[in-house]
Amino acid sequence: MVSVNDFKRGMVIKIDGDLYTVIEYQHVKPARGGAFVRSKLKSLTRGSTVDKTFRGGEKVEDVRIDRQTMQYQYEEGSDLVFMDTATYEPTNIDKKFVGNILDYIKEGDEVEIMMYEDRPISIEPPTFVTLKVVYAEPGLRGDTATNVLKPVKLETGATVNVPIFVNQDDVIKVDTRTGEYVERVKQ
């Protein structure tokens, strides 16, 4: 058990049988009445975000999460196969569980998988990935007066909006948290 006064960003807690990670928290001490803690929690099983207020000093169950670095190997039916980089053991994870992570990773890329009681609860790709543009319409001449964007298709199949100077076969850096273009990478 841990006190809500000891909340830290990224901490994983268990409330009513569901796992949550602490996104934000704020300690409040009003002029009258007892102190309390406002928090924003993200459910690791459902992905939804919840605002929750706790009384100061209230205890919640903290959870020990194992983080494992794994390498994405290949797709097998409705599963994705990841290999533990320390033990070389393969692990199959259902495609439904990984969400849109396949838009940003390709075979051989490493991801961090959070495990709870020997089952995966969250998969985090690297914050920034470099991917090759496989299809891009040519930029129109004279469209440089404003910040004009165009959609391009990446080698993973994802579509990202990029500036008009990005061409087919360019390599770009993408932020996996937002899915936005960051910069063009020199080859």
Q: Is the dihedral of CA 75, 79, 80, 85 positive or negative?
A: negative
**pTM of the predicted structure, to 2 decimals:** 0.70
Give me the residue label for tokens 């004009």: 148
Q: Which domains does the chain have, with CATH numbers?
A: 2-62 (2.30.30.30), 66-124 (2.40.50.140), 128-185 (2.40.50.140)
State residue 4's pLDDT score.
Answer: 86
pLDDT means per 10 residues in the chain (187 residues)? 87 88 89 90 83 90 88 90 91 82 88 85 87 86 71 92 89 90 87
State residue 141's pLDDT score.
Answer: 65
State residue 43's pLDDT score.
Answer: 85
Q: Taking a C-beta distance cutoff of 8 angstroms, is the pair 175, 128 a contact? A: yes
